[in-house]
Amino acid sequence: MIFKYCCLFFILFLQCFYASAKCPTIVSRKEWDGLKPVHVRYLPRPVDLVIIQHTVTPTCATDDGCAEIVRNIQAYQMDNLNFWDIGQSFLIGGNGKVYEGPGWLHAGAHTYGYNSKSIGVAFIGNFNKDQPTTQALNAAKALIKCGVDLGHLASNYHVVGHRQLIATESPGRKLYNEIRSWPDWMEDVSSIKN
C-alpha cells in the first residue's frame, strides 16, 4: 500500500515538474509519422551547447507541410547518407512548432565532431534568403528554456551557429544575424572547437 502511494506521489510530482517547464508545442515522431531509428546513442546530460542550423529546404507554415518536409529530410538522411535517424535533434517550422528528431536524450548527426555533446536545432528553410518567422524564433527560445528547466541543457549553456564549428553557410545569413543577439550567444568558439 505504501508503495502504491509513493508511486502516485511520484507521478504527481513529475506532472507538476513538467507542467512548470512551459515547453513549446513539440510534435512527436509519431505525430509527424517518423521512421523508427536504426540505432540510438545516448547523450550525456546535461549538455551545454545548442547548435543552430537551417535545413536549406523550402520553408513551411502549415502542420502538414512542415511534417512532410521533416519526413523527407529523415528519408534522405537515412537512405542516402546512411544516418541512423534524422540528424537534427529538433526542427522548427515557420508555424512555430517544434518537430522531434532524436530529441533531448539521443545524439543526433547534425555537426560532425559535436554530436555527442550538443543539441542541434534546425530551422526549416533557407535563411540565406528568407527571414525566420517570429513564431519560429520564439519556439526556439522556448525550446531552449524548456531544455534547461527539464535538466537536459546546462544552465550555463551556449548558443552557436553551425558555421562557427564546420565549413558551412548554415544557419544562413539572416538566421545567423538573429541568433547573435540572443543572451547566451557564444561569439568566440575557440574554447570548444575540436
- What per-residue confidence (pLDDT) applies to 9? 47
CA count, 13 A, side-chain hemisphere, 123: 35
- What per-residue confidence (pLDDT) applies to 30? 97
CA count, 13 A, side-chain hemisphere, 186: 21
Q: Average pLDDT for consecutive 10-residue bins of the chain (194 residues)?
A: 49 44 91 96 96 98 98 98 97 98 96 94 97 98 98 98 97 98 95 84
Type and span of the H or E element at 53: strand 47-54
pTM passes above 0.85: yes
- What per-residue confidence (pLDDT) applies to 100? 98
Domains, the chain, with CATH or none: 24-179 (3.40.80.10)
Contact 72, 66 (CB under 8 A): no
